[in-house]
Copies of this chain bind each other. A is one copy, B any other.
Amino acid sequence: MDIKEFVTAKARDARAGARDLLKAGSDRKNVLLVKMADALLEHAGTLMEENAKDVEYARGKGLSKALVDRLTLDEKRIKEMACGLREVAALPDPVGEILHMRQRPNGMQVGRMRVPIGVIGIIYEARPNVTADATALCLKAGNAVVLRGGSEAINSNRAIVGILRDEARKEGLHEGIINFIDIPERQAVMEMLKLEDMIDLIIPRGGEGLIRTVTENSRIPVLKHYKGVCHVFVDRDADLIMAEEICLNAKVQRPGTCNAMETMLVDEPIAEGFLPKVLKSLEDKGVALKGDQRTREIYPGIDEAGKEDYYKEYLDLILNVRVVGGIDEAMEHIATYGSAHTDTIVTMNYEKAMRFLREVDSSAVMVNASTRLNDGGQFGLGAEIGISTDKIHARGPMGLEELTCAKFIVFGSGQLRQ
């Protein structure tokens, strides 16, 4: 088989699907999403059968328990997928929104209209739920998808996509609105990343390695974050009870997520009073601490945090602790070691709060709130397709709006250029 031709045919099919979707109104898209949800539940048996093949193969290959768990589809997870599709159907449709329509001196009205991006490529690991979740968000925003899931989930993904495409066809839409690269060869991804005339945007979801490979090889724009090295800076003017609650929540509420805190920065004047209590609480919750020299003077017996540690995304119950000489040193630390994901200041000082918001160049910057709250749902976007630490197109959690673009429109009455 010619892999390049195979992938190109899928992308071409997606382009045709995207043109069809451009004409579909909200009602048709919403009806389709609800029917897709029903169909997934109806075919739950088949889905679990196909998934069992993948799980057996993964076990045979010796994949870790965590990976096998993420791969597995049971009734509960299929219900969750269906539920996700229904939730997306219920969200407001961003397409067609007209923004900032203003009258120019010559009488023409100029503004913007939100339109779909076109064709979106999603590259992800062996998590079959992403197949349905990502497809739903893209379709709702009027985009066709080219999906490329981890090869360990190929049978599960093929079954899910088959069901979704059947529903699209039954609703009279072009099946090309959903495409799945159902061959395991790695070359398929490389070919996909070269199709800049057919695919408008790539969203990779997974570990840092996958994302780096995609970014380095793509000729198509990519929206992504590599990792979440998130900070909480406890300023000398903080409410220390609030600071302790925020630090605990940011570290232990779910340490395996990209918005969990990895380094706590504490202002020198309060370090002696604040650190012993909060570090004890963190240790009680099972957190392994690494401290700079000053932290270890105040709270002896913990490991040393080296410079290389400050770059790390632990995704685990491990925390760096560093004492800094004020907000400038804290912001310098964040600019040097951070990943522009989520950073919080805890303070009651108005001026420092405003400076931190303005000068910290991260995708989400917070005052007096846990980093764990950076999430499309928590921020009110409805659902998110990922978090971007890029500076182009989207910065922070990406919802339906970030899956559209805004073209210019003009209502004229015969205006000419003078």
Give chain A's interface residues, CB within 8 Å of chain B. 19, 22-23, 96, 102, 104, 108, 110, 112-113, 115, 117-118, 200-201, 215-216, 219, 221, 223, 239, 242, 245-246, 249, 253-254, 335, 344, 357-359, 361-370, 372-374, 378-380, 390-393, 395-397, 405-417
CB distance from A206 to the nearest CB of B (A): 20
Partner of A246, one of B364, B380, B414: B414
- Chain B residues within an 8 Å CB radius of A112: 396
Inter-chain CA distance A102–B200, complex, in Å, is 31
A369-B412, A373-B417, A374-B408 as given contacts; A221 in contact with B392, CB under 8 Å: yes
Question: Given that A104-B378, A249-B417 are known contacts, is A363 also in contact with B408, CB under 8 Å in the complex?
Answer: yes
Q: Which residues of B contact A104 (CB under 8 A)?
A: 378-380
Residues B391 and A395 in contact, CB atoms below 8 Å apart:
no
A230 CA to B243 CA in the complex, in Å? 58
Report whether over half of chain A's contact residues are helix, strand or loop; otherwise say mixed.
mixed
5 contacts between A and B (CB under 8 A): A200-B392, A201-B391, A367-B410, A368-B412, A372-B417
A359 to B115, CA, bound (A): 9
CB contacts (< 8 Å) of A223 on chain B: these are 392
Interface centre among A254, A367, A412 (most CB of B within 10 A): A412
Q: Are B414 and A365 within 8 A (Cβ)? A: no
Q: How many angstroms from the CA of A362 to the CA of B118 in the assembled complex?
A: 12
Contact A221 B221 (CB under 8 A): yes
Contact A368 B413 (CB under 8 A): yes
Contact A407 B365, CB 8 Å, known A378-B104, A415-B370? yes
Complex CA distance for A335 and B219, rounded to whole angstroms:
22
Most chain B beta-carbon contacts within 10 A, residue among A102, A215, A410: A410
Residues of B within 8 A of A368 (CB): 411-415
A221-B392, A380-B104, A391-B117 as given contacts; A408 in contact with B397, CB under 8 Å:
yes
A405 to B408: give the CA distance in the assembly, Å. 19
Q: Which of B358, B392, B408, B416 is within 8 Å of A249, CB to CB?
A: B416
> In the complex the two chains form, what is the Cα distance from A242 to B413 in whole Å?
8
The CA of A38 and the CA of B14, in the complex, are separated in Å by: 54
Which residue on chain B has the smallest CB distance to residue A356?
B409
Decide yes or no: A369 and B415 within 8 Å by CB, A104-B378, A395-B406 being known contacts: yes
Q: How far is the CB of A350 from chain B (nearest CB, A)?
A: 11
Q: Which residue of B lies closest to A108 (CB)?
A: B369
Given contacts A358-B113, A361-B115, contact A373 B108 (CB under 8 A): yes
Starting from the known contacts A117-B391, A366-B409, 14 additional A-B residue pairs (CB-CB under 8 Å) come to A96-B358, A104-B378, A104-B379, A110-B380, A113-B365, A216-B219, A221-B392, A239-B414, A246-B416, A249-B416, A364-B408, A369-B414, A372-B416, A373-B415
Q: Which residues of B contact A415 (CB under 8 A)?
A: 368-370, 373
Q: Distance (Å) between the CB of A186 and the closest chain B CB? A: 20
CA distance A374 to B416 in the complex (A): 11
Q: Which residues of B contact A253 (CB under 8 A)?
A: 416-417
A393 touches B393 (CB 8 A): yes
Closest 3 CB pairs of A and B: A369-B412, A372-B417, A366-B410
Q: Decide: A357 and B409 in contact? CB cutoff 8 A.
A: yes
